[in-house]
Amino acid sequence: MPGLGRRLGARTLRLGDRGSDVRELHAFLRLQGYDLGEEEHYGYLTKDAVRQFQRDHGLVADGIAGKRFFALVLKEDLPIRRRVHVVQPQETLEEIAARYGVGPEAFGRIAGKGGIYPGQRLVFFDREVWGICRTSLKPEQPLQALTGVVLADTSLAPENLPCMLRPQAEPEWDVVRIHSTLKTPRRRKLAAQSFLDTVEQTSRACGLYLPWREIAQLDGVRYVKLLKRLRRGLGSRAMLWVELGPAVPPWKIWGGVDYAQVNELVDRVVLQVPRAEQPGHLLNLPALQDQLRRLLGSIHSWKILLDVPVYAVEWELGPEGPVQTQLAYQTALSRALRRGARLKRGEQGELHYSYQSRGLRHELYLPHHAALAQLCALINRANLAGVVLDWLGMEDPRLWETLRAHFRTAALNISRQ
């Protein structure tokens, strides 16, 4: 019989195939929580399960188990952690959510709305939760809720947490300096070696986070060449992260960055949630969704981390224009109370505190739980890797409850994609 004795991944599998490798594929898919019924060959249920797996991992969803499919399946630790619970008689959604330490939102549901039935498969995911660390962490912070931390100073690194090393970001790295660094092969080699030496000297670093957020159009090819050097130098057991977004132009005929090549070279792509440039919402979700749609055309969804601001912002509205200051949530709330600030609603419906000081009007914007919940729901819908919280120690403590309601924190996975 065709396929007997073949190891999984030795051939492309498609509708109608049989053999020992098909049985191994069934075992894998069932472990991932896909329902194959009683199928013993590559039937329609198997094809649907393969297609769903491909969608989850940003592959072409054709239902054929080919080379790129097996490149992921045969990893020791998959980059997406798909969890499945089969509903038992008498179980409630709230009981199931509590069992896994999440909220009903993790299953795409709202508490008290919509029923469940025995035999139903409820799917949820583990997501990575990273935090940017600029100061020493306090003992009361829930470190168990973190996958790891991002930092430039490893002396701030907490015990028993993976650390991504991010050399000093803006304004030190602007587009002019980056252009100078990328200009010649020799300069690229020196820059790559400098980054690699920094990682090598930091024994606790699990990888390098390249902090460049703006690349000139003409430097796109040079930038990819630098990433190739870094990838070779870091090897397969250290992570490489980069940032992509509006200031890193995608490839056009006259230049830019080939996002597809970046996708093959790096382990995570960080997309910064657009920051407010004028008083208003701290999280610009419509702009984020537009950027994300463009990115998903070239980057696997399970490689994308969203960089989310969790601090409060105070705007001083002076004659030369608004000036912002980033504040810890508790500091901002205390300042609003001390100044007798009034709660107001802006033109776009955003709530904020307003007060007068030294003849100038000040507006305080605090992170809103509803906006963060919408962001978490977007991460689940788009099947993204998770979040990077900017920055730890500045957040509203209730933020952790919102994150926990939508997904479980994933352990670090540095398997090469």
For 57-98, the pLDDT digits (tens) are 778 889 999 988 988 888 766 767 888 888 999 999 999 999
Phi, psi of 79 (to 5 degrees): -70, -15
Report the CATH architecture of 126-281+403-409. Alpha-Beta Barrel (3.20)
For 249-261, the pLDDT digits (tens) are 999 888 899 999 9
For 319-337, the pLDDT digits (tens) are 888 999 999 999 999 999 9
Q: Say if CB 208 and CB 414 are below 8 A apart.
A: no
Which class for 324: exposed (0-12), middle (13-18), buried (19 or more C-beta within 10 A)? middle
Average pLDDT over residues 36-48: 92
Least-confidence region, from 177-191, 240-254, 275-289, 326-340? 275-289
pTM over 0.85: yes
Among the ranges 179-188, 229-238, 246-255, 404-413, which has the highest mean pLDDT value? Answer: 179-188
Give residue limits of the domains in the chain. Answer: 20-73, 126-281+403-409, 313-365
Fold assignment, 313-365: Chitinase A; domain 3 (3.10.50)
For 279-317, the pLDDT digits (tens) are 888 888 889 999 999 998 899 888 999 999 999 999 999
**Mean of pLDDT over the chain:** 88
| Rounded Cα gap, residues 228 and 193, in angstroms | 12
pLDDT of residue 2: 46
Q: Say if CB 235 and CB 206 are below 8 A apart.
A: no
Nearest-CA neighbor of 245 among 170, 191, 193? 170
